[in-house]
Structure 1
Amino acid sequence: MTNRILIFIVAYNAERTIAEVVRRIPKELFHQYETEILLIDDASADGTFEAGYRLRSLLPERKVTVLKNPVNLGYGGNQKLGYEYAIREGFDYIVLLHGDGQYAPEQMPVLLKTLVDGDAAAVFGSRMLEGRSAIKGGMPVYKYVGNRILTALQNCLSGMRLSEWHSGYRLYSVEALSKIPFARNSNDFNFDTEIILQLNLAGHRIEEVPVPTFYGDEICHVNGLKYACQVIRDTFIASLSKFGVFHDPKFDTVDQTAVYRSKFGFSSSHQYALDAVRPGERLLILGCGPAETVRPLTEQAGEVSLVDVRLEAEHHELAANVWQLDLNELQEQDLGDQQFDCVLILDVIEHLRDPEEFLSRIRGYSQLRRARVILTTPNVVFLPVRLMFFLGQFNYGKRGILDRTHTRLFTFGSFRRLLTQQGFSVTRLEPVPAPFPLAFGENWFSRILLSFNHLAMFLFPRLFAFQIYGEANPLPTVEQLLTDAEFHSEGLRDLVA
């Protein structure tokens, strides 16, 4: 089946250039694909709409649709209409082209082939892949330097590796666009950054292809300082949203309630737990999560048993015992006659219906009587969250400290009280830094942030801990102590007799 391609031209006061831009679109695209041109004039003050409409008769062999917004929607707002049109009309791919001629239509076949034949969700024409060719093409030096600086900062904040975040020459898979909330994005020029962040958060790949640069006498409508502040702010917020410090619905690109990533290999709750598990221990993991979070623990421990309401086939390969159960309903008989040396309850307690009742209940389980219990939970008074509270922001999100599924929130003090009041002897409470590598990638930037976080936690642990790591031992229940006394007395009676 022939792929359907929409060439979407955004135009504002482009009366002088629009006809030439359309004529330069290679004819081969109309033979190779089922291609349509969509021109949307964003309420121009000149004759952009009329010039575009005349192309319908001047180029009858090409299907050209021309629309004009009754009011100016902005660069981002205009894009929203084009993408919605592509989704509604069932196109496979969409090409974003500017009506001012800044990007060469002649490069379109190469870009389109890369997208159609590859596995990327988007292909960008980058002016920065080939050294200083952008300057040779007429890009002002201050724009070139600004582009480089902003791109470097955004790569650090997002963990991505793009050569240019600010190219307007873009091709997207319409299927990928249909799965991200681009309608929530800004109507301004930072729309382009927000859609990159959405694709990245959704796990889509972006590929870049070098394109030539052409700067003519077109009028630039971008306020450079405002734009720079907007894109850095957006990138920072998207990065924070990865671990729930800040929530913005536009970055809800996947069902993050079903996504739980492992945090091994750097200072984190998972790594602390892994370091605490002793070789050969009989390990019980309550609320084990996906297999990737279990695998390193099974390599460290001896016999491993798992309990979770969601299990995969790989769980059965990794563990000796696997029980698919809701922890809220877990009963002593569900664990059989196993005896455990260590129990892990990582990032779970805050999700339970009644944490107090759960801890009180499992404390009395005979299988856990001599076990060390390792627990982790978010620290609700982590400094960024405190600041958000101070500013009147209490934003629940899909993950992180203010995860929508959290039923309880803890501080160091309330977490210790939870354990002691339910009959546990707390042997260790430690601060855990924020998982910067998950937000920004495994790079020098995240390593520096982790180092600063460790220093800050050393000085003010309750203020700068993202999570709380705890170890505790279940104290014997009164019933267990009575049973012990009866058993012990039975032996003494024999001696006395």
Structure 2
Amino acid sequence: MNGSQNQRKSPAQGTERILVFIPAYNCSKQISRVLAQFDGVERYFAEVLVVDNRSPDNTLEAAREAAARAGLPVTIVRNNDNYGLGGSHKVAFSYAVDNGFDYCVVLHGDDQGSIRDLVPHLEAGAHREVDCLLGARFAPGAKLEGYSAFRTFGNHVFNLLFSAGAGRRLYDLGSGLNLYRVSKLAGAKYRGFANNLTFNYFMILASVHWCWNIRFFPITWREDDQISNVKLARQSMQVLGILARYVFNRKAFLDGNFSGRALDDYGFTVIERSGARAGAPI
């Protein structure tokens, strides 16, 4: 090992442990590409956790094959029920807390975002200065590939509305690449947030209310062979309802249970572990 390598300790090699959580649903075509994103940047991360939300396609099989080729520990779990994207977040956040991680990165399993957009910020130590680093598709410097002009315009409108309601500038209400400080997650009341695709809207508003130190960073976002689960008209109405509840009765909104489940009803089954692992408890 040369001198420069000795001087340059990555978070995963030092005292910090960073978990990457990959929510996956019907991602059989993309999950291998997502896991391949870590080639060459493995040193920044302690473990990858793939949470399959009971995909009816071959997502699990594809994830297992790709995990065997990964250069870092990969744990694949399957939710015991369909919890939605938000429910999968709850599984992963609890996993990060229970297993002593310092940071939890969210990287969606449909290969629209790139982990390499986050790496320079880890290299610079920006994650140590904030409670969450949030990837922003609509921040200055971001790039959109294959994203329709209509959806881009709609997102800008909602970003402005939520910024006004939250009282601070929000550049994205929920992309597929975010980092959270686990000590903040440990004390956060997020289990009552909706389990569907609106979970991130709850999370961003709550993060502002909790006075977390939030920083946005520009990302590249692409659409090619992904399958969207978003019903635009229906979700737009849900999103406006979320903002209205937050603005007019913030405490009741954040203390409510919009999940449709008991707050502790998020069991999962470990399917496979690949690579060396520190042996932290499940």
Which TM bucket (shorter chain)? 0.7 to 0.9
Question: Is the counterpart of residue 184 in structure 1 residue 192 in structure 2?
Answer: yes
What is the aligned length? 244
Q: What is the CA-CA distance between 1:79 and the residue it aligns to?
A: 1.0
- Which residue of 1 is the match for residue 16 of structure 2? 3
Q: Partner letter of residue 20 of structure 2?
A: I
Q: How does 1:111-260 map to 2 (within 5 A)?
A: 111-113=121-123, 116-130=126-140, 133-134=143-144, 137-242=145-250, 247-250=252-255
Residues 204 and 141 of structure 1: CA distance in aligned 2, closer, same or farther (over 3 Å): same
| Counterpart selection for 1:31 from 39, 43, 47 | 43
Distance 2:256 2:184 in 1: 14
Distance 1:187 1:147 in 2: 21
Q: What is the CA-CA distance between 1:26 and the residue it aligns to?
A: 4.6
Distance 2:186 2:240 in 1: 25
Contact 2:136 2:142 (C-alpha < 8 Å) held by counterparts: no
Residues 52 and 127 of structure 1: CA distance in aligned 2, closer, same or farther (over 3 Å): same
Distance 2:155 2:43 in 1: 36
- Which residue of 2 is the match for residue 47 of structure 1? 58
Residues 193 and 114 of structure 1: CA distance in aligned 2, closer, same or farther (over 3 Å): farther
- Which residue of 2 is the match for residue 64 of structure 1? 74
The structure whose residues are more often helix, as a share, is: 1
Contact 2:132 2:180 (C-alpha < 8 Å) held by counterparts: yes
Q: Deviations for 1:319-372, whole angstroms, at most 9, x for unmatched residues?
A: xxxxxxxxxxxxxxxxxxxxxxxxxxxxxxxxxxxxxxxxxxxxxxxxxxxxxx
Contact 1:201 1:251 (C-alpha < 8 Å) held by counterparts: no
TM-score calculated relative to the size of structure 1: 0.47
- Which residue of 2 is the match for residue 17 of structure 1? 30
Q: What is the CA-CA distance between 1:46 and the residue it aligns to?
A: 0.9
Residues 154 and 249 of structure 1: CA distance in aligned 2, closer, same or farther (over 3 Å): closer
SS of equivalent to 2:220: coil
Q: Partner letter of residue 225 of structure 2?
A: D
Residues 233 and 6 of structure 1: CA distance in aligned 2, closer, same or farther (over 3 Å): same
RMSD of aligned alpha carbons: 2.1
- Which residue of 2 is the match for residue 442 of structure 1? none
Q: What is the CA-CA distance between 1:209 and the residue it aligns to?
A: 0.8
Q: What is the CA-CA distance between 1:249 and the residue it aligns to?
A: 4.6
Q: Partner letter of residue 184 of structure 2?
A: A
Distance 1:249 1:201 in 2: 9
Structure with bigger RCO (C-alpha 8 Å, 6+ apart): 2
Q: What is the CA-CA distance between 1:251 and the residue it aligns to?
A: 7.1
**Identical columns (%):** 27
Distance 1:126 1:153 in 2: 16
Q: How does 1:307-326 map to 2 (within 5 A)?
A: none
Q: What is the CA-CA distance between 1:54 and the residue it aligns to?
A: 2.2
Residues 238 and 69 of structure 1: CA distance in aligned 2, closer, same or farther (over 3 Å): same
TM-score calculated relative to the size of structure 2: 0.80
Q: Partner letter of residue 147 of structure 2?
A: M
Please list every run of 5 or more consecutive structure 2 residues that lacks an aligned counterpart in the other structure.
Answer: 1-13, 258-282
- Which residue of 2 is the match for residue 83 of structure 1? 93
SS of equivalent to 1:147: helix
Please list every run of 5 or more consecutive structure 1 residues that lacks an aligned counterpart in the other structure.
Answer: 253-497
SS of equivalent to 1:124: strand
Q: What is the CA-CA distance between 1:24 and the residue it aligns to?
A: 1.1
- Which residue of 2 is the match for residue 73 of structure 1? 83
Distance 2:123 2:208 in 1: 22
Residues 131 and 216 of structure 1: CA distance in aligned 2, closer, same or farther (over 3 Å): same
Question: Is the counterpart of residue 100 in structure 1 residue 110 in structure 2?
Answer: yes
Q: What is the CA-CA distance between 1:114 and the residue it aligns to?
A: 6.0
SS of equivalent to 2:19: strand
Q: What is the CA-CA distance between 1:174 and the residue it aligns to?
A: 0.8
Bigger Rg, structure 1 or 2: 1
